[in-house]
Structure 1
Amino acid sequence: MQTWLIQALVLLAVAIFLYAAWRYQKDKTERGPSFGGFTGHLSEVTRDLTAAARANKIDPVTGRENELDRIVHILMRRTKNNPLLLGEAGVGKTAVVEGLALRIARDSVPQALKNKSVLALDINALVSETKYRGDLEQRLQKITRELEERAKEVILFIDEIHLISQMGGAEGSLNVSDVLKPSLARGDVQMIGATTWREFDKYIKPDEAFARRLQPVLIDEPTPARALEILRSLRSVYENFHGVKITDDALKAAVQEADEKIDYRYLPDSAIDLIDEASAKVAIEGEYKHHVALGAVHAAAKIGKEKVTRKDIRAVIDQWVLHGSEDKARDARHK
């Protein structure tokens, strides 16, 4: 009898444990994944850049000290404390916001910002599963309420902010930007936006009530000298990723070639992409070069890293220019 009772108690304990584990997993799924301690609807549609900075998952940001100082000044204002970064695609608007997250992670900001988290909104996640009229507005209202509850903890970053001015508004429903306006006006939600001048003029400027809540910050294309400084700060990141050695001459060539030959893109993004692709090319060629017939890597491959030189940069830029010429020829044929 005692043996039977012990077995029953053991089975009951196992059942309770399994049920508790199931409930925990179910509740966790319903809450959504946590990023940097945030849960609920907010965690489902944002990425915590400050947590990423503390985990060393954000690349170094340099050459944007003046712009970062201006953003901090605006964030510290009593009213209209929502910076709007304006600049062409590729000039580094998102990198500037990541630079702010790095400053916060290092406590290199005023006291009022030290406990803030910069949350980057994923617009694709925001609009997913919003099939019916009003679904998107309701979802954003829930997120806005969460932001208001954590007003002293969160700065919301919306890249391509003009997109929210294009969402909703069908058949009498609220425009998505209309959901944010009251919270921005009261100062219950603090936000950083980013867009291009063209999109600003087309979508945000006509909405005067929304535009008034934002303080423009111009993010210009960096000069070649500053772009070179940015590339030097990122050199170790790409060297470690690709397992190569990037020469200073290659960095200079990347800036020069991108500035002179890639007129449809902007520094520093174009030069960074050149370095990235040239490094990948050199790493692959080095692997093939040191590969012997038996499939083993030669010992020489382990002694020193392959070098990325000006020649490699030019080889990549030649491919880019050729591809651009083919695109133009194809477009001309279809006109």
Structure 2
Amino acid sequence: GLREIDERIADVRREKEAAIDAQDFEKAAGLRDKERKLGEERSAKEKQWRSGDLEEIAEVGEEQIAEVLGAWTGIPVFKLTEEESSRLLRMEDELHKRIIGQDEAVKAVSRAIRRTRAGLKDPKRPSGSFIFAGPSGVGKTELSKALAAFLFGDEDSLIQIDMGEFHDRFTASRLFGAPPGYVGYEEGGQLTEKVRRKPFSVVLFDEIEKAHKEIYNTLLQVLEDGRLTDGQGRVVDFKNTVIIFTSNLGTQDISKAVGMGFTGSNETDSVAQYDRMKNKVNDELKKHFRPEFLNRIDEIVVFHQLTRDQIVQMVELLIDRVAKALAAKDMGIELTDKAKALLAQRGFDPVLGARPLRRTIQREIEDTMSEKILFGELGAGEIVTVDVDGWDGESKDTDGATFTFTPRPKPLPEGTFSEMSPEAAEAVRDVEADTIAADVPDVPEITDDLFTEGLDEGPAGAGSSQPQR
């Protein structure tokens, strides 16, 4: 059927691209012709199908059914087709692909989710409920996003609500829906309407301490019964949601005790500092929230202050994303240890944590490289090494430090081509570029004469002739 032809076309296309990468242009030309014939076959098949001339009856498999059900119900496809237990057993590893450090937080969340999935908790309550406490910019929101992607397939399954917008009792109607006769009745609540439309989701209440205390009473019903009645009288089911509250309570003075926002210089200082912060956070939570609210929370997770090494790891994670974007332009990027350290130094703020790091990389690396690419100073086929001038790598004073960008040619594939002279290698690159750009039907044959001519040449300036192109 059409699906089989589509799969064959995809396979041939991958083989063709691999042949081009391997400089095997004769094979690439043959695969191009094969791809063209398969495309014609598909068009004819589709025409027959639309006219009703096909004798065969299409079969619907498990994957297609799961895909349709997923679109109808909002249940992630992997929950229908994959053994969930195998995913849960590797949950920590999956979350740590996005979360640097915070081992205790990741373990606590993973344990709670596994308990729920194993059926060892009240089925009426939400799948999980957590308080993420700690300083700003240490990964509370990022862990929520990673959890949404892991449990429900993508970050769009995260419902994020800024509780600073609900600081008085009259704003509760915006959250849960206005009663009949009031403005906004037909619109539904910001929380209830989103959960009603997407019942499989992570609900993040950001900075919960800023909300009015009357709102906590309504949220108690969600935590206890897993349901809530909106302003229109509809019962909204929260049993398949994960509820997360973030809070900065007890951490306001943390940045004053740690120079430049990093934790103590040795492990003992770091542990002692974390214990003090954890005790203070728990004390502040008990003062601010009623016991019945805290008792309905599965886990209270206090996040660690970030260390210098963890900030550097975050730099590497963000630079990997830049590298993927550059790969589409046939370019690469490498950072020296000094460049990573400088980005970590400039991208961390004692109050905001690691939040400015992304903007720092955009300003210092991406913006500069964009200009150099547009001016033609950097281009395809190059790897750019980013280093630092005017800084010793340790000093807190980085005002005189500047980033440098040094391009070098990407290495040729291993084998025959890596052993050529520069002149012969350049000739091969030109042939490849011409072939790809023009999609030439008759691919020029690269003969041994070309390689011999390049290899036999003497040093530059010795009267050797350039290979014919």
Q: Distance in 1 between matches of 2:129 and 2:178?
A: 18
Give 1:306 deviation, angstroms.
4.5
| Distance in 2 between residues matched to 1:92 and 1:312, nearest whole Å | 32
Match of 1:194 in 2: 246
**Matching of residue 309 in structure 1 with residue 387 in structure 2:** yes
Superposed, 1:1-335 pairs within 5 Å as 61-64=98-101, 65-75=103-113, 76=115, 78=121, 81-104=128-151, 118-123=157-162, 135-136=173-174, 138-139=176-177, 153-163=200-210, 165-166=211-212, 175-188=214-227, 189=238, 190-198=242-250, 205-208=287-290, 209-214=292-297, 215-241=299-325, 245-249=333-337, 250-256=339-345, 262-266=349-353, 268-287=354-373, 290=375, 298=376, 301-304=379-382, 306-311=384-389, 318=399
After superposition, give the CA deviation of every residue in 1:28-69 in whole Å (9 maximum; x if it has no partner): xxxxxxx98689xxxxxxxxxxxxxxxxxx995033454222
Q: Distance in 2 between matches of 1:300 and 1:149?
A: 50
Letter of the aligned partner of 1:61 in structure 2?
R
> Is the 1:61–1:98 Cα contact (8 Å) retained in structure 2?
no
Checking the alignment, whether the CA contact within 8 Å between 1:274 and 1:317 is kept in structure 2 is: no
**Which one is further off, 180-189 or 299-308?**
299-308
* Contact 2:172/2:215 (<8 A) preserved: no
Per-residue deviation, residues 105-151 of structure 1 (Å, max 9, x unmatched): 679xxxxxxxx984322449x87xxxx77632542896566688799
Work out the number of aligned pairs and report it.
238
Task: Give the Å deviation of 1:228.
Answer: 2.2
What secondary structure sits across from 1:318 in the alignment?
A: coil
Q: Structure 1 stretch 275-284 or stretch 201-210: which is displaced more?
A: 201-210
- Output the CA distance in 2 between the equivalents of 1:140 and 1:231: 45
CA distance in 2, matches of 1:180, 1:307: 52
Q: Is the 8 A contact 2:157 2:198 kept in 1?
A: no
Query: 1:251-304 CA deviation, whole Å, 9 max, x = no partner?
Result: 233224556xx44442x434444323211342244146x3xxxxxxx4863342
- Shift of residue 157, structure 1, vs aligned partner: 1.8
Superposed displacement of residue 317, structure 1: 5.6
Once residues 279 and 118 of structure 1 are traced to their aligned partners in structure 2, the CA distance between those partners, rounded to angstroms, is 31
- How many Å apart are 1:311 and its aligned residue? 4.0
Structure 1: gaps of 5 or more residues: 1-34, 40-57, 108-115, 170-174, 291-297, 321-335
Once the two structures are TM-superposed, the CA of residue 92 in structure 1 deviates from its matched residue by: 1.3
CA change 1:286–1:120 in 2 (3 A) is same
Change (3 A) 1:270 1:310: farther
Over 3 Å counting, the alpha-carbon distance change for 1:207 and 1:311 in structure 2 is: same
Cα deviation digits, residues 75-103 of structure 1 (max 9, x gap) = 43526941111111111111111222343
SS of the aligned residue for 1:99 comes to helix
Determine the C-alpha separation between the residues in 2 that align with 1:310 and 1:244.
18
SS at match of 1:279: helix
Structure 1 residues 204 and 248, CA, compared in 2 at 3 Å: closer, same or farther? farther
Q: Distance in 2 between matches of 1:234 and 1:36?
A: 32
Classify the secondary structure of the residue corresponding to 1:63: coil
Q: Which amino acid aligns with 1:179?
A: T
Q: Given the two structures, how large is their TM-score scaled by the length of structure 2?
A: 0.40
CA shift for structure 1 position 162: 2.6
The one-letter code sitting in structure 2 at the alignment partner of 1:216 is: I
CA gap of 1:118–1:157, structure 2 versus 1, over 3 A, is: farther
Native 8 Å contact 1:244 1:279 kept in 2: no
Cα gap change, 1:237/1:151 in structure 2, threshold over 3 Å: closer, same or farther?
closer
Which AA in structure 2 matches 1:95?
E
Shift in CA distance, 318/140, structure 1 to aligned 2, threshold 3 Å: farther
Q: Give the letter for the 1:219 counterpart.
A: F
Q: Alignment RMSD, CA only?
A: 4.7
Amino acid at match of 1:218: V
Residues 241/82 of structure 1: CA separation in 2 closer, same or farther (3 Å cut): same
For each residue in 1:298-327, what CA deviation from the matched residue of structure 2 results, as whole angstroms up to 9, or x when unmatched?
48633425443334999x96399xxxxxxx
How big is the shift at 1:244? 6.8
**Distance change in 2, residues 1:74/1:312 (3 Å):** farther
**In 2, Cα distance between the equivalents of 1:284 and 1:37?**
42
Secondary structure, aligned partner of 1:213 = coil
Question: What are structure 2's unaligned runs of at least 5 residues?
Answer: 1-69, 75-94, 180-187, 228-237, 252-280, 402-469
| Residues in 1 aligned to 2:177 and 2:311: alpha-carbon distance in whole angstroms | 40
TM-score (norm 1): 0.54
Change in Cα spacing, 1:317 to 1:237, as seen in structure 2 (3 Å) is farther
Q: Which has the higher contact order (CA 8 A, sep 6+)?
A: 1
Q: Which residue in 2 is equivalent to 1:326?
A: none
